[in-house]
Amino acid sequence: MSWYEGMSERYDEWSAHMTADVPFYAGLAGETDGTLVELAVGDGRVAIAVAQATGRRVIGIDSSPSMIDRARRSADAAGVELDLRLGDMRELELDEPAGLIYCPFRALLHLSTWADRRNVFERVARSLRPGGRFAWNVFAFDHHVAVANDGAHLDDRVPHRLHYDVPDNRIDIILDDGGTSSLWWATKNEWLGLIDVAGLELEALYGDFDRTPLCPTSGEYVFVTTTR
């Protein structure tokens, strides 16, 4: 998985613009019985809000030791207890079936291969209780944006440069102060294929966190699936 550890100390700057996902995932959690699990919990930005909104424990899993440390500090400051676990989502195993597993902020795009994604989806499906949900969001790739941004330097949030490798479906985020994180995008049909092979069913596909339908101008895929 592609995650630059040095990015952790600036994660709050990097994620500051992403706020609309919090009430969306908290809303799903409030509708769901059973254990709540967040994959790629990061600094706990979403998990803390979900725990506060539901009054329930959230299991947060991340492969980055520095992000787990940040999540623990953030949860302590908020007076929230999270069950934080250092681990790889590709090796997901839970002690009991979950009611909701979710993966916010496009974190599934750090998985570089179809095999890795399929493994995650199949493990998630096996980890859900009957009627349980798996939800996530990823950006809807736009070639026009890629052409405009390839090689561009952006000063907003954390100063960085973007490089698009279209044949590899990859975006490299190259930070000015060192380090590179990469994302591998996928089409809507690829995500639908993963849902199918994992034995999940599509409940909803939104174009934004306000649950508006997906349309040609949508910049985000917001998926909600259920067990069969």
CA distance linking residue 94 with residue 87, whole number of Å: 11
Q: Which residues fall within 8 angstroms of residue 7, CB to CB, at 6 or more apart? A: 14, 158, 175, 179, 181
Poorest-confidence range of 5-9, 132-136, 162-166?
Answer: 5-9
Query: Average pLDDT in the 83-110 region?
Result: 96
What is Dmax (Cα atoms) for the chain? 47
- Which residues fall within 8 angstroms of residue 89, CB to CB, at 6 or more apart? 39, 40, 61, 63, 103, 111, 120, 123
Share of the chain above pLDDT 90, in %: 77
Region 73-83: what's the mean pLDDT?
Answer: 96
What integer pLDDT is reported at residue 4 of this predicted model? 58
Q: Which residues of 24-50 are buried (b: 16+ CB within 10 A; e: fewer)?
A: bbbebbeebebbbbbbbbbbbbbbbbb
Count the neighbouring beta carbons within 10 Å of the beta carbon of residue 74.
18
Query: Phi/psi at 32 (nearest 5 deg)?
Result: -115, 135
**pLDDT category of residue 133 using cuts at 50, 70 and 90:** very high
Kindly report the average pLDDT of the chain as a whole number. Answer: 92
Quick check: helix, strand or coil at residue 200?
strand
pLDDT at 152: 87
Q: What is residue 185's predicted lDDT score, i.e. its pLDDT?
A: 94
Tell me the backbone φ, ψ of residue 3, rounded to 5 degrees: -145, 125
Question: Range with the lowest mean pLDDT among 73-77, 88-92, 155-159?
Answer: 155-159
- From 53, 13, 6, select the one nearest 31 (Cα to Cα): 53
pLDDT (average), residues 173-193: 90
Domain locations in the chain as residue ranges: 5-139+185-227
Amino acid at 186: A
177 or 131, higher pLDDT: 131
- Give CATH superfamily name and number for 5-139+185-227: Vaccinia Virus protein VP39 (3.40.50.150)
- DSSP reduced 3-state for 22: helix
In terms of phi and psi (left: phi > 0; alpha: psi -120 to 50; beta: otherwise), the region of 19 is: alpha
Contacting residues for 165 by C-beta, under 8 A, at least 6 apart: 171, 172
Q: Mean per-residue pLDDT for 63-82? A: 94
Confidence of residue 59 (pLDDT cuts 50, 70, 90): very high
